[in-house]
Amino acid sequence: MKIALSDLRDIHFSTGTKALCGNRLLMQLGFGMVSIFAPVFFYLNFGHSFAVVAFVYITLYTLHLLFTPLAALLFRHFSLKRLMLFAVPLALVGMLALALFEYGPWFFVTVHIFLIAVYKALYWVPYHVDFSLFANATQRGKQMSILLNLSSVIAVATPLIAGVIIATFGFSTAFAFSAVFFAISMVPLLSVPPTREVFEYSFLESFRKLFSKEHRPILLGYVGDGAQTVVTAVIWPVFIFLLLDQQYVTAGFVTGITIVAIMAIRFVTGNLFDRWSKEKTLTWSAVLLATGWIVKVFVESAFQIFLVDTYHQAGRAMSRVSIDATTYEQAADNGHYVDEFTVLKEMSLNIGRILMLALIAFTVAVASIKIAFIAAALAALMVTVLNKRIHVSA
């Protein structure tokens, strides 16, 4: 499919969208300094145990799950912009807690887990609600592809830079650099127009709604998305780190270079999402993503990591644009209930993450960690449920 330069020139971002994107990119710079190495950090410092790594993240995502509907109750009292401004300093302090790890390992890990969970609960629902409100309804796919490609530029550089910093100065320095970017990321948030929502559910009602029959597509679709993405975020980094003989710089380089190969694919996908059948785009990207997970079972060398992860990242790029654009469209279609939809989505993602990590914690004791890749392939196919139109009600 031919893509004209006018496709790029004609994409218009509102002030709110640009401010949110600026904040998100700076936050990614911060998290990118440690993202692929944080699971490695826990693995190395807690007995080289996948089970302990899974436990750390299960605790984080369980707190995120519980805090999300509680944080949404604050919508009655604070603007979404104000909640995001509350959230970012918590991420900053949470990252500095890991920099102090050696002075009290479990204490500072506990502080980190708690603060990051509160940050996620306060930040993500307001961010997604505002983005769905500010984004151009006819250009969501292309807007998401541009944002994700800018994120990819950051993702190419930060793993390599982080690998060099960790190899030279240690993890604490990388965590400190991360905190600096979080501080800077608050500046764009100041330009976000203040919006307000009223969350209609109570804490317990949020769970009843989530598990109700009418909201089952939200639960199943995002449980699948959360389950497969947590393998990418937590298990795959440790797997390639060990496969590459625990070389920080090499792991960072291989992670970064594979991203270069898929940036063009992402814009094509965004264009297809806006012009073609959204259902077809989401379905085929899910199939491609699932096959990528299956192929990863056979990875045994650095070169195979590059080839297989490039193929898998291509599927992930298509899937991420399709899922995110579908999500924002579904959220916007729910009008007054955009915040309720987003809360249920975030809760479902965390349930998927928790279930997948619990499965991994159990299976590593009796079988290969590669079983996680097969489970992720099955989970990736579940996102096709999101092709069904979802209507949230009180």
Contact between 269 and 286 (Cβ < 8 Å): no
Pairs from 297-301 (Cβ < 8 Å, separation ≥ 24):
297/370, 297/373, 297/374, 299/243, 300/243, 301/243
281 lies in some domain: yes
Contact between 11 and 122 (Cβ < 8 Å): no
Q: Residue 155 belongs to a domain with what CATH number? A: 1.20.1250.20
| Model confidence pLDDT, tens digit, residues 318-375 | 666 667 767 767 776 666 678 888 899 999 999 999 999 999 888 887 778 888 899 9
Question: Which class for 36: exposed (0-12), middle (13-18), buried (19 or more C-beta within 10 A)?
Answer: buried
333 lies in some domain: yes
| Model confidence pLDDT, tens digit, residues 116-150 | 999 999 999 999 889 888 876 666 666 666 776 67
357 lies in some domain: yes
Which residues constitute the domain of residue 120? 14-190+202-387
Q: What letter does residue 231 receive in the DSSP assignment?
A: I
Tokens representing residue 263 in the block: 């940036």
Secondary structure (3-state) at 355: helix
Q: What is the largest CA-CA distance in the chain?
A: 57
221 lies in some domain: yes
pLDDT confidence bin for 27, thresholds 50/70/90? very high
Tokens 């965590």 found at? 175
196 lies in some domain: no
Give pTM, 2 decimals.
0.87
What is the number of structural domains in the chain? Answer: 1
Secondary structure element (H or E) that encloses residue 95, with its range: helix 80-99
7 lies in some domain: no
1 lies in some domain: no
Smallest Cα–Cα separation from 317: which of 146, 162, 161, 154? 146
| Model confidence pLDDT, tens digit, residues 182-236 | 999 999 999 999 998 889 999 999 999 999 988 888 899 899 999 999 998 898 8
Which of 46-50, 262-266, 327-331, 332-336 has the least mean pLDDT?
262-266
195 lies in some domain: no
